[in-house]
Chains A and B, each alone.
Chain A
Amino acid sequence: MEITFAVLLWGVRILFLVLLYLFLIRVFSSLQRALATENTIAARPTGLAHLVVQRTVRGAFRVGDRLPLRAVNGLGRDAGNDIVINDEAASAKHALVEFADGEWWVEDAGSTNGTVVNGEVVRSRERLQYGDELAIGRVALRLEQ
Chain B
Amino acid sequence: MTSPISANIRSLTLTLALAFLVTSIGAAYWTVLASDQLANDPFNPRLIAATNDRPRGAIVDRNGSPVATSEKAAAGFIRSYKDRTLAQVVGYASPKFGLSGVEAAYADSLIGQDPADPVSIWKARYLGDRAPAGQVLLGIDLKIQKAAADALGGRKGAIVALDPRTGAILASVSVPSYDANQVVDPSKQDAAFDQLSHSPDHALLNRVAQGLYPPGSIFKVVTGAAALENGFDPTKKLRVDDPYQADKSWGDYFVRSASHAHGLFDMSDGFRLSENIYFAQVGLQIGAAKLTDYAKRFGIGSTPNLDLPAAKGQLSDSGSIDRPTLLADTSYGQGELLVSPLQMALIYATIANGGVMPTAHYATEVRDADGHVVRQIAPGPQGQVISPNTAKTLTTMLVGAVSGPGAFAFGAKIPGVNVAGKTGTAENRPGEAPHGWFVGFAPAENPTVVVAVIVENTAEGGVTAAPLGGQVMRAALGK
Contact = CB atoms under 8 A, between A and B. Distances in A.
A10 B189 CA distance: 38
Nearest to A10: B126
A31 interface: no
B127 interface: yes
A7 B127 CA distance: 6
A4 B128 CA distance: 12
Contacts of B128: 6
A9 B127 CA distance: 8
A13 B127 CA distance: 10
Nearest to B129: A6
Range for the number of chain A residues in contact with chain B: under 10
Contacts of B127: 4, 6-7, 9-10
Interface of A (DSSP majority class): helix
Nearest to B128: A6
A7 B123 CA distance: 9
Interface residues of B, number: 4
Interface in B97-144: 126-129
Highest count of chain B CB atoms <10 Å: which of A4, A6, A13:
A6
Contacts, number: 9
Contacts of A10: 126-127
Nearest to A5: B127
Nearest to A13: B126
A4 B129 CA distance: 11
Nearest to B127: A6
A13 B128 CA distance: 13
Interface string A1-28: 0001011011001000000000000000
Interface in B367-393: none
Contacts of B129: 6
Nearest to A7: B127
A7 B126 CA distance: 8
Contacts of A7: 127
Contacts of A4: 127
B129 to A, nearest CB: 6
Nearest to A14: B126
Interface in A64-99: none
A16 to B, nearest CB: 13
B365 to A, nearest CB: 28
A82 B128 CA distance: 70
A87 to B, nearest CB: 30
A10 B123 CA distance: 10
A21 to B, nearest CB: 15
Interface string B408-443: 000000000000000000000000000000000000
Nearest to B125: A10
A54 B419 CA distance: 118
A31 B128 CA distance: 39
A10 B129 CA distance: 11
A13 B125 CA distance: 12
Contacts of B126: 10, 13
Interface string A94-111: 000000000000000000
Contacts of A6: 127-129
A105 B127 CA distance: 56
Nearest to B123: A6
B442 to A, nearest CB: 54
A7 B129 CA distance: 10
A145 B109 CA distance: 73
Nearest to A8: B127
A77 B126 CA distance: 72
A9 B129 CA distance: 12
A2 to B, nearest CB: 11
Contacts of A13: 126
A49 to B, nearest CB: 21
Interface of A: 4, 6-7, 9-10, 13
Given A6-B127, A9-B127, 7 more contacts: A4-B127, A6-B128, A6-B129, A7-B127, A10-B126, A10-B127, A13-B126
Minimum-distance CB pairs A-B, first 4? A6-B127, A10-B126, A10-B127, A6-B129
Interface of B: 126-129
9 contacts: A4-B127, A6-B127, A6-B128, A6-B129, A7-B127, A9-B127, A10-B126, A10-B127, A13-B126
